[in-house]
Amino acid sequence: MQLEAERGFGDLKGRQERFSGFVARTFTEPLAGITEPQRQGLEDLARALGSYGELSLARRQNLVRQCRERLHQLRQAHQPTIPVGPPRLQVGASSGPGASSGPWDPDTPLSEIKGVGPKTAARLAQLGLFVLRDLVHYYPRDYLDYANLVRISGLEPGRTATIVATVRRSNAFTSPRNPNLSILELHLADITGKIRVSRFFAGKRFASPGWLKGQQAHFPPGATVAVSGLVKETPYGPAFQDPLMEVLDHSHAQVRSESIGRLIPVYGLTEGLGSERLRQALAAVLPEVRRWGDPLPEALRHTENLIPRPQALLQIHQPSNQQELQASRHRLVFDEFLLLQLGLLQRRRQLSQRPAPPLVLAAGRDDLVQRFLELLPFPLTGAQKRVLAEIRVDLARPQPMARLVQGDVGSGKTVVALASLLTAIEAGCQGALMAPTEVLAEQHYRKLAEWLPQLHVTSALLTGSTPAQRRRELLRDLVNGQLQLLVGTHALLEDPVQFDRLGLVVVDEQHRFGVRQRNRLLAKGLQPHLLTMTATPIPRTLALSLHGDLDVSQIDELPPGRQPIQTSLLKGGQRSKAYQLIRDQVAMGQRAYVVLPLVDDSEKLDLRSAIEVHRELEEEVFPDLQVGLLHGKLNSASKQAAIRAFADGLTQVLVSTTVVEVGVDVPEASVMVIEHAERFGLAQLHQLRGRVGRGAAASYCLLINDSNNVQAKQRLEVLVRSGDGFEIAEMDLRLRGPGQVLGTRQSGLPDLALASLTDDGEVLEQARQVAQSITAKDPDLALHQGLAEALADQRRRQLDLASRLN
Ligand code: ADP
Ligand code: MG
């Protein structure tokens, strides 16, 4: 029909028939898959074509136009609906690292390596990269995913992608608004759609028409091009701007570019060190990796489905595709966790080789623990019994116990701690109970004072504010063995405190009892058994990384009769609801906490403070009630007075900062109001909430959130939904990352380059199992020389780093 139109509608004569006859015949041939009306339409046209020869020129023109329109409609209706797969692109094998001009030792300074040079080495040093090994382990921060091959219709703005398409049109011009900017614009198409690609050239020299024409000539219409880049959203739909482009000889030709169609590593850079230079430096050192051994035996690698380490190191820098990248990452993450776990297991072995006092009861001895349990107004829960039994087995051994008891807030850890201490005391040793705050130490001491005299056990409290005279007496009794149980803060670890025969140390509410603290205890003579208790249920990945050297017991059951704490979110404007609830509860004989993030207004933030709210509640809101105030700036006597007044019911409302976060146990408290809740971590809020619901009464937690931040609200809703400390801790870890969750004071987080405690939990479990089975069979790693060396190496480098930091 195109031809008929070009020849002036003369009813072209073919070898056997004329145009009109040919078209009429084809229109009446049976066609599969067309509808009856469509067939009818074609037949009508065929009939009209029968008299084509007799029609005027204008009529003929009109009829041909109708035919073309009809065919176009048919084609539209019969678009193939089979999904189109991604385009193919032949990406050559990565040329990879060339031959090394080495051989170089992993400890060779980068400045001595040919292909790096002193200038680049100086820049690399700014990144903390000094020797060859450092650079090899400088992993990409991210990857540009040009291996994501898609059709044009499947392009997503904001993602990197590669397409293979045909040039339809092109245009090269200097921007009418900016004579310094020249633009090459290509219109590309594949079977799924069209896209516009722009290349920008800034500078006068690019504005010459000749030069622009030359650029345009690189991409003639009909040429097949491969394009890799970031897809941008523009007013004309998705587009590529300044992508990588290469004209292919034909659609199956291999790309020559080393970047198009691949995963491109992106590195953290520094002033004066561009990505190109960094890649060059890497290219110079990576060949060396091929000569490195694998610390894991082949058989183990095989069962654990791990690729060889040298291969992983090469591929993490130069992956050909996602699978290669994932396999490499898995192997390297595994190694980081494996070394971490092996290190922890070894430390634990060293500890257990030192003798500890076996706390075995002489036969026929009256059971102190039994009598203690009988004094309690309640029976132990199943979980408490089980954990206590685990502890008592440990205590009877001649190796020092290193055990962590985890149990959600209110699960009753204190009683377990006391029963353990009494076991030690009964065996003729002394015990120490340490708490993180004076408030908590005092509370523990008061609890003990209810029971210990009846059991004829001597005890004392030692904190930073114990008067000197009392302190002297107390230390004397400790050395001569008259004092059996000492309760206190970490001041207990200070030098003048010497025990006669220390058997067990319990550390309450501490996520981590550091190696350094343990060493201080060792310095006090005997190596005592050690029991750490925490209610901050840190997620398992963190627990394994931090406490892999501890045995862990879980009190995974709450005492019976506890009602779940009803948690709700309030806006600042709904504060009066909270006050009404407090009023109602106090009328029923209960008590309430109101917690604020700040002590006073001196800080410049626009937040309600404890002192301000205390005044407001005392004078305006609850003039008829007694309102107490507790915060960290009070001296220790005032703090204790405030807690005691609240515990004894002299005050019914306690306004406090997070001093009450851990441990405080007032069973009559049934309301917890937390102001500016969005400023606290989830785990911390869960701890605060745990201050209520400790008795049998229904309890309430009201989170007041004044921010309009959507994320803050989502975060807080986790608490409304869940009462499970472990679930909350997992969410906290995901939302805030491990550093935040543990707080800045909590050092000792492992140094992981690639592994993530948030995302690699499964690999951590895998590595832990392998570490355990290796240690069980080969405790000295004599048969795993590679691992022993890697471990020694890591330790040496940590020391190195520490001395450099110092
Ligand atoms: P946490 O594990 O948070 O330290 P506590 O040891 O302070 O918890 O115990 C919380 C409350 O539960 C305390 O008032 C304690 O007396 C009580 N309690 C502990 N064990 C039991 C039990 N087996 N049955 C009933 N109440 C218990
Ligand atoms: Mg406690």
DSSP string, 399-462: SPPEEEEEE-TTS-HHHHHHHHHHHHHHTT-EEEEE-SSHHHHHHHHHHHHHHHHHHT--EEEE
The pLDDT, as a whole number, for residue 661 is 66
Is 667 a pocket residue for ligand 1 (Cβ < 6 Å)?
A: yes
Distance CA 388, CA 416 (A): 6
The pLDDT tens digits of the residues spanning 64-75 come to: 999 999 988 888
| 130 or 662: which leads in pLDDT | 130
The pLDDT, as a whole number, for residue 746 is 39
For tokens 């350094």, the residue is: 516
- Gap from CA of 488 to ligand 1 centroid (Å): 20
Distance CA 518, CA 342 (A): 20
The pLDDT, as a whole number, for residue 712 is 82
Tell me which of 228-242, 460-474, 718-732, 734-748 is least confident.
734-748
Angle at 524 between CA 521 and CA 530, to 5 degrees: 35
Distance CA 631, CA 610 (A): 8
- For 260, which DSSP code? T
| 33 or 195: which leads in pLDDT | 195
For tokens 């059971």, the residue is: 367
Q: Is residue 81 packed enough to be buried (19+ CB in 10 Å), middle (13-18) or exposed (0-12)? A: exposed
Cα dihedral 132→136→139→140 (10° resolution): 90
Nearest CA-CA partner of 338 in 394, 367, 368, 300? 300
SS3 category, 184: strand
Q: Are 736 and 728 in contact (CB under 8 A)?
A: no
Q: What angle do helix axes 275-289 and 117-126 make, rounded to 10 degrees?
A: 100
Distance CA 277, CA 269 (A): 10
Strand-pair category, 181-190 with 160-174: antiparallel
- Gap from CA of 413 to ligand 1 centroid (Å): 7
Instruction: Report the 10 Å Cβ neighbour count for 784.
Output: 20
φ/ψ of 649, rounded to 5, equals: 85, 10
Is 508 a pocket residue for ligand 1 (Cβ < 6 Å)?
A: no
CA atoms within 13 A on the CB side of 343: 21
For residue 384, give the ligand 1 atom closest to its CA. Answer: 23
Ligand nearest to the CA of 405: 1
Is 664 a pocket residue for ligand 1 (Cβ < 6 Å)?
A: no
- Gap from CA of 407 to ligand 2 centroid (Å): 9
- Gap from CA of 690 to ligand 1 centroid (Å): 11
Distance CA 148, CA 142 (A): 15
φ/ψ of 145, rounded to 5, equals: -90, 80
Instruction: Report the 10 Å Cβ neighbour count for 351.
Output: 19
Is 407 a pocket residue for ligand 1 (Cβ < 6 Å)?
A: yes
Is 378 a pocket residue for ligand 1 (Cβ < 6 Å)?
A: yes
Is 162 a pocket residue for ligand 1 (Cβ < 6 Å)?
A: no
- For 131, which DSSP code? B
The pLDDT, as a whole number, for residue 604 is 58
Asked whether residue 745 carries a pLDDT value surpassing 50, the answer given is: no
For the full predicted model, state whether its pTM sits above 0.75. no
Residues listed for the chain: 806
Residue nearest to atom 9 of ligand 1 (CA): 412
The pLDDT, as a whole number, for residue 806 is 39
Question: In the structure encoding, which two tokens stand for residue 545, read together?
Answer: 């990384």
Strand-pair category, 237-241 with 224-234: antiparallel
Is 431 a pocket residue for ligand 1 (Cβ < 6 Å)?
A: no
Tell me which of 570-584, 691-705, 724-738, 779-793 is least confident.
724-738
Question: In the structure encoding, which two tokens stand for residue 150, read together?
Answer: 């898609």
φ/ψ of 185, rounded to 5, equals: -120, 125
Confidence of residue 517 (pLDDT cuts 50, 70, 90): low
The pLDDT, as a whole number, for residue 347 is 78
The pLDDT tens digits of the residues spanning 124-153 come to: 998 888 999 999 999 998 898 898 899 999
Tell me which of 92-106, 271-285, 372-386, 605-619 is least confident.
92-106
Confidence of residue 805 (pLDDT cuts 50, 70, 90): very low
Confidence of residue 399 (pLDDT cuts 50, 70, 90): confident
- Gap from CA of 535 to ligand 2 centroid (Å): 7
Beta pairing partners, 405: 533, 553
The pLDDT, as a whole number, for residue 738 is 61
| Most confident by average pLDDT, 392-401, 587-596, 732-741 | 587-596
Asked whether residue 516 carries a pLDDT value surpassing 70, the answer given is: no
Chain centre distance of CA 512: 20
Residue nearest to atom 25 of ligand 1 (CA): 559
Tell me which of 76-90, 449-463, 775-789 is least confident.
76-90
Exposed e or buried b per residue across 748-776, where buried means at least 16 C-beta atoms within 10 angstroms of its C-beta: eebebebbebbebbebbebbbebbeebbe
Distance CA 63, CA 45 (A): 8
Nearest CA-CA partner of 395 in 506, 539, 254? 506
| 75 or 379: which leads in pLDDT | 379
Chain centre distance of CA 446: 41
Residue nearest to atom 26 of ligand 1 (CA): 559
**Alpha-helix runs per DSSP H in 236-365:** 275-289, 298-303, 309-317, 322-352
Distance CA 798, CA 505 (A): 29
Mean pLDDT of the chain: 86
| 499 or 542: which leads in pLDDT | 499
- 479: Cβ–Cβ under 8 A, 6 or more apart, which residues? 498, 499, 500
What average pLDDT does range 535-558 have in this prediction?
75
Q: Are 388 and 420 in contact (CB under 8 A)?
A: yes
Asked whether residue 82 carries a pLDDT value surpassing 80, the answer given is: no
Nearest CA-CA partner of 500 in 441, 425, 445, 434? 425
Q: Are 292 and 137 in contact (CB under 8 A)?
A: no
SS3 category, 80: coil
What average pLDDT does range 691-720 have in this prediction?
87
Asked whether residue 45 carries a pLDDT value surpassing 90, the answer given is: yes
Confidence of residue 237 (pLDDT cuts 50, 70, 90): confident
Ligand nearest to the CA of 510: 2
3-state secondary structure 657-726: CHHHCCCCCCCCEEEEEECCHHHCCHHHHHHHHCCCCCCCCCCEEEEECCCCCHHHHHHHHHHHHCCCHH
Is 409 a pocket residue for ligand 1 (Cβ < 6 Å)?
A: yes
What average pLDDT does range 709-736 have in this prediction?
82
Asked whether residue 108 carries a pLDDT value surpassing 80, the answer given is: yes
What average pLDDT does range 229-234 have in this prediction?
91
Is 687 a pocket residue for ligand 1 (Cβ < 6 Å)?
A: no
- 201: Cβ–Cβ under 8 A, 6 or more apart, which residues? 181, 182, 183, 184, 215
Distance CA 433, CA 445 (A): 9
Is 559 a pocket residue for ligand 1 (Cβ < 6 Å)?
A: yes
SS3 category, 537: coil
For residue 694, give the ligand 1 atom closest to its CA. Answer: 11
What average pLDDT does range 17-30 have in this prediction?
91
Percent of the chain as helix, strand, coil, to the nearest 5: 45, 20, 40
Exposed e or buried b per residue across 108-137, where buried means at least 16 C-beta atoms within 10 angstroms of its C-beta: bbbbebebbbeebbebbeebebbbbbbbbe
Residue nearest to atom 18 of ligand 1 (CA): 412
From residue 437, give the alpha-carbon distance in Å to each of 406, 510, 667, 683. 19, 11, 20, 18
Asked whether residue 403 carries a pLDDT value surpassing 70, the answer given is: yes
Ligand nearest to the CA of 418: 1
Question: In the structure encoding, which two tokens stand for residue 125, read together?
Answer: 């040093």
Nearest CA-CA partner of 438 in 487, 505, 497, 494? 487
Task: Give the rounded percent of residues in the chain with a pLDDT score beyond 90.
Answer: 42
Distance CA 745, CA 410 (A): 25
- For 13, which DSSP code? B
Distance CA 445, CA 492 (A): 14
| 627 or 398: which leads in pLDDT | 627
